[in-house]
Amino acid sequence: MKRVLFHPCCGQDVARMAKLLSDEFDHLEASDVSPYSVQVLREELGFVATRERTHQFAPELASGRTDLHLVRNPSTLRPVGSGRILDGTCSVRPGAPKSATLRAFDSVEALRMVDRISVFVFRRDGPTEGEGSSGIPFLGNTLFQRIVAKLEVGGLVVTDGAGMNCDADQSELWRAPRTDHPIGRKFTAFGREFRCERVLGKRSPQTLVWRADPTR
């Protein structure tokens, strides 16, 4: 079975993360409302689309947001309920093509469409982290529970804590990136035990790799 890397609100970061995590997945599921992501996939990962279709959906407002779908939409009254799905291949490493799907629309809808996740990546998406921040609380209770429900046993969560700052069972996801020695830290949430096993890159806050095993 293909191991899926799901990267919502990926922006141009998708190429870097796909390369850094290339040993961990076979199929890339990227999502971003911006058409720029298609360009990044083409230029930096050699993405070639073999199929393209339009997707219409009823936008869902995620908890904690009232304008989830409006970041790139000039109208504050009409949430965007359509976008493109591009299926194809990319070359994360020379000579080793992987299949890839870009869902160029809201990432909450993209999550709904993904059945199984081996690696979940979400970073640098908070109010202070650049123009176009989705503000979608993917690490908050509502959406993180959905992620964990799809995350395979022993799957990975890769994040810098992306804009979160509250108490929750999973708050280590945003606290540990600001500590000196995050490796080995653990927490339990939604029936899984998460253990930090790797730091990716040198940026602050750190991007941490957490492995999710069933609780004992």
Ligand X SMILES: C[S@@+](CC[C@H](N)C(=O)[O-])C[C@H]1O[C@@H](n2cnc3c(N)ncnc32)[C@H](O)[C@@H]1O
68 belongs to the binding site for ligand X (CB under 6 A): yes
In this chain, which residue has its C-beta nearest to ligand X?
11
Beta strand pairing call for 27-31 and 82-93 = unpaired
- Candidate residues 28, 40, 107, 138; the one interacting with ligand X per rule CB under 6 A: 107
How far is 14 from 188, CA to CA, in rounded Å? Answer: 28
Q: Does 34 bind ligand X (CB under 6 A)?
A: yes
Tokens (6 digits) for 214: 């069933």
Nearer to ligand X, 137 or 192 (CB): 137
Question: Do residues 24 and 2 make contact, with C-beta atoms less than 8 angstroms apart?
Answer: no
Does residue 205 have a cis peptide bond before it, meaning omega lies within 30 degrees of 0? yes
Query: Binding to ligand X by residue 71, rule CB under 6 A?
Result: yes
Q: Should residue 207 be labelled a site residue for ligand X when binding is judged by CB under 6 A?
A: no
CA pseudo-torsion sign 17, 21, 24, 26: positive
Q: In the complex with ligand X, which residue's Cβ is closer, 65 or 150?
A: 65
Regarding 29 and contact with ligand X (CB under 6 A), the answer is: no
User: Which residues of the shown chain bind ligand X in the complex (CB under 6 A)?
Assistant: 9-13, 31-34, 68-69, 71, 106-107, 123-125, 129-130, 132-134, 136
